Amino acid sequence: MPLTEKLLLLAMAAQVVLAVVLLLLMGRERVPRVMSGEIKMADIAVDRSAYPLKARLLSNSFDNQFQLPVLFLVGALVALHLGTISWVEAALAWAFVVLRYAHAVIHVTSNHLYRRFAAYTAGLAVLALFWLWLVIRILSVPSI
């Protein structure tokens, strides 16, 4: 397997790791509070507002991993299907994942909205470039 394909797959794995880490951190914040009775099941059955801020931030950040990252993972699979992954795809994939990590860290720590929005927007721009590059590749492939 070429290095560029491995790098793309590793970027995909890093994105999955981010979601799993957020899920585990969220569970660490939520489960003990419910198990101890601090938070009643009825209070969280429909809405998360009964959880403390940290748990809500982790939950929101986890949910966010199923928005833009889904479009990234689909694009990465399309790129792998097309074959011959270039350094462009690998670099854009890693740039996107690094920006997702930055977004998540901001989200669950300071939650500074301007910084978080900047990280999100930069990630969106990189994802748009990733997909633009894929579309150009698809259109440039000769028909069979």
Cα(95)–Cα(119) distance, rounded to whole angstroms?
11
Per-residue pLDDT at 143 = 64
Q: Which domain covers residue 46, as residue numbers?
A: 3-140
Cα(82)–Cα(87) distance, rounded to whole angstroms?
14
pLDDT in tens, 80-118: 998 879 999 999 999 999 999 999 999 999 999 999 999
Q: Model-level pTM greater than 0.85?
A: yes
Q: Who contacts 60 (Cβ-Cβ below 8 Å, separation ≥6)?
A: 107
Q: What amino acid is encoded at 21 in this protein?
A: V
Give how many domains the chain has, as a whole number: 1
What is the CATH classification number for the domain harbouring 97?
A: 1.20.120.550
Q: Each residue of 89-101: b (16+ CB within 10 Å) or e?
A: bbbbbbbbbbbbb
